[in-house]
Structure 1
Amino acid sequence: MILRLAIASLFARALTVGMTILAIALSVALFLGVEKVRTGAKESFADTISGTDLIVGARSGSVQLLLYSVFRIGNATNNVSWESYQDIASRPDVEWIVPISLGDSHRQFRVMGTTRAFFDHYKYRQGRSLETADGVIMDDLFDTVIGADVAASLGYSVGDPIVVAHGLASFSEHKNQPFRISGILAKTGTPVDRTVIVSMEAIEAIHVDWRSGAQIPGQVTPVDVIRQMDLTPKAITAALVGVESPLQTFALQRAINEYRQEPLLAVLPGVALQELWGIVGIAETALLAVSAMVVVTALIGMMATIFSSLNERRREMAIFRAMGARPTTILGLLVLEAMLMAALGALLGLALLYAGLSVAQPMIDSAFGLWLPVTAPSLQELWVILAVVGAGAIVSMVPALRAYRMSLADGMMVRT
């Protein structure tokens, strides 16, 4: 009986109720959307490098090593000698190892020196491998493979020349050793998209005439002569390591961290990512708090709507009382109406969120490399809906108590 009355009352005030439900729906969609983006960002960051057991570099901080080796943010404090790299690579518990050399750039995009093993062992998004959208992996000393964002931003295609600049944001270019684009990688949504990849030997080749960060005056070695030189690297920036067995990971990490020949650091990518999220956790919490306040504001708006309707419904409440309805029935009616509005708003917000995700998912993935899966509502999202309904019942108690206290005489009195 009371449920029918509540539904009929809501239909009688369809416009006002509809606007209130829409406000709650938008606020819930925003809150759940922020949570989706937050968890999606975490998973996307974690999926930036999957299948790699350890990252090795010069001794610094684990987050710093992760940022410059994987995300191309910041710079290394020091390099790792080639002898140490070979020593680690020769260990029986190392299944594979990929060297990385950083330091140069091309029009604000990082240049990374590595080997063909990088294309074999670098995995992202739960084990996906790198693929070329056009061309092939470099097979000449001065070939380069570029990421999808590099090609899109600079309008490059296979066969175009590239001149690498020395250092970051530098005006000193290696003009005497231009590269040729041999391949363009498919979009990955990782820092690889913004990277120019060359061979380790190419990094040595373009620095033949350089010493201490500057070109030797008047010295220009012909490319044909460079091709005949021993271009074995002297040092690398970092290395990605895969171990034979997961049980050997911690033993290998300890052995590298205690390496006597030079100070090295080996970090687990997952642990370093957790440290990184701990650093940015304050901003993450603030974003959630702002979206939660939007939900609270919508619920307060619902309470104000109920308050404003009380004067119009005084006679209605008085008639209910005159027909034998108890004060608790009046209170329950208003609370039930608020719960229905909150429930409809929360469910509509959830529907809006998933409809928006279905449309925007490929665009977000293409533009930002952020994968937001469209799956069945999680238990956490259902708890949010229940919390909104419960909060709606709580905020409605204030106007409901006022209606509860209205006297029959006050309700039947004609105002002039």
Structure 2
Amino acid sequence: MAEVKRVIWIVLDSVGIGELPDADKFGDVGSNTLCNTAKAVGGLKIPNMVQLGIGNIAGITGIEKCEQPKGCYGRLAEISNGKDTTIGHWEMTGIYSPDPFPVYPDGFPQEVIEPFIKETGVSGILGNIPASGTEIIKQLGEEHIRTGKPIIYTSGDSVFQIAAHEDVIPVERLYELCHTARRILTGKHAVARVIARPFTGENGVYTRTPNRRDFSLKPSTDNILCRVQDKGLSVIGVGKIEDIFAGVGIGEATHTKDNQDGIDVTLRYMKQENEGIIYTNLVEFDSAWGHRNDVKGYARGLEEFDARLPEIFAAMRKDDMLIITADHGCDPTTPSTDHSREYVPLLMYGEALNKNVDLGTGKTYANIAQTIADIFGTEPTTIGESYAKKILKNESDNRKNG
């Protein structure tokens, strides 16, 4: 087989491609983040992903098909019990999560809030309800500034979020509050993530800053990131990857402020001498557009990402493999502002890979992990099916194409 020495793994956070068979159990019937967005704006200009085969994936409508895609393409289902960032990313690295993380549609109970107040020393809290992050700081921002009390809120996901004005509660102090909350939120209250949500502004006009941090539960070390590290290869996290995995399996990491910054940082790492994995999360699809039902913003973000792909192609070495996928859906065209239970796209590309390979529908996001395990010769992950034999050129292909 042809040799791959580095994987550039890009997660388009929330770019799902259609409801899973069990979407009704999650309230997500009709969700299709990519196709509904394309339909709502009269079509998307994403020619580079079209060339990779995104329009050829089973179930995709409203996206141009390519007669001879230069990539391998398919879709993946989720077998874990959830539809959030943590479970999605963990599954694609080979971790199965049969039990959902706890959610709090009525806010957090006093058995969580009381120790939080006591251990942090804050004078009290505001909120403690499910809410949109931008809306709750509009509603409670002035009271927060006046009282100094942090704003606590959640969503349809398993998250404990703390919003605070940077001039009222400095960022480092906010991180301390999050560390305390993370320590408290264990056992039956072991939420997937505690999130710091700093903001700035005045007179009711507030803006969330790039100093967001996620404090996740620690995943099992039984995942492809740890296996690759154990082989002496590098695992580099870009964006919130380090936070999602609580640093487990990540050797080097750079946090980013938006999608464009995430692509810039990825390109910077690609131009360095390294072997292993560069693992990137582009969060704005989810945080800036999906959760806010901003259809035009979502469409623009997809087109802006696509426009940067030629730079990524140009930076790829002969032994690089590019993976483009997602972790769940967040359809901006539906009334819900929460994540949606969807298939995710899988695009794979590189000089060492065959072209125009239809991978069909995979049973689990972990097919990515198993493929990487095969490529790097690590122990197989506990779940997932490898595509290595389908996608890698064999020696006769190499001679033929050489």
Same-fold status (TM-score > 0.5): no
TM normalised by structure 1 equals: 0.22
TM normalised by structure 2 equals: 0.23
Larger helix percent? 1
Q: Relative CO higher for 1 or 2, CA cutoff 8 Å, sep ≥ 6?
A: 2
Q: Which has the larger radius of gyration?
A: 1
